[in-house]
Amino acid sequence: LNLSEFDEEILKYKVKFVSGKRKIEFDGEYLLKNLDLFTIFSWYDLVDALNIIYERSDIEELLNVKPEEREKAWRDFWDKRDPDPVTPHNELEIKFLERFQYVMRNFSGPIKGYKTDRGRIYIRFGPPDFIEDHPFEFGSYPYQIWYYNNLRLRFIFVDKTGFGDYKLINDIRELYPQY
């Protein structure tokens, strides 16, 4: 079933259970709708998140697109950046959308996930190789250290509020309330 071939389709089904002399049958139907990406996520959020990994000049064309032209503009944007045009999908687009969805689901609160420090790092570099989590350590705020071993990077995030609002820090002294 290829959902891209239609906007709406009714899927009908029939189920039959037989156990000894007992037989139960029922049927039903589901309405299938083809949802586009921009129904699920805000256009402006997607374009704004692209700004984390691409230059503003690269996404400039997407910023002023009319709503009816967004799907084509999105497709054109990713077609230009397709690392392997022979495959039926764009690996970079899929990677971006997976990361975007992850940060929206896991780091959103009063601030949208891609606008948080952890969200920006995750979208740019992907999942860390290792996370050192210190939620309760005497004399310090809760903190996490994200390691990207192959990139030789590490990021320290501190939650000074106690509400899961982790901020990227530059100075290790920011971990300790006495400083």
d(CA 154, CA 152): 7
- What is this structure's pTM? 0.75
pLDDT score, position 78: 92
d(CA 25, CA 55): 58
Q: Do residues 157 and 168 lie in contact, with contact meaning Cβ atoms separated by under 8 Å?
A: yes
CA separation (Å) from 150 to 100, 105, 147?
22, 26, 9
Phi, then psi, of 168 in degrees rounded to 5: -70, 135
As a whole number, mean pLDDT of residues 61-77 equals 88
d(CA 26, CA 4): 29
pLDDT score, position 177: 59
pLDDT score, position 171: 67
pLDDT score, position 15: 83
Going by pLDDT thresholds of 50, 70 and 90, the confidence category of residue 65 is: confident
pLDDT score, position 17: 81
d(CA 93, CA 83): 10
User: In angstroms, how far is the first alpha carbon of the chain from the final one?
Assistant: 61
On the question of pLDDT at 172 being above 70, the answer is: no
pLDDT score, position 50: 93
pLDDT score, position 4: 46
Going by pLDDT thresholds of 50, 70 and 90, the confidence category of residue 135 is: confident
pLDDT tens digits, one per residue of 154-168 = 999 999 888 888 999
Q: Write down the mean pLDDT value for the chain.
A: 84
With tokens 């390691």, the residue in question is: 147
Which of 31-45, 49-63, 69-83 comes out lowest in average pLDDT? Answer: 31-45
Going by pLDDT thresholds of 50, 70 and 90, the confidence category of residue 24 is: confident
Angle between helices 91-106 and 117-125 (to 10 degrees): 160
On the question of pLDDT at 121 being above 50, the answer is: yes
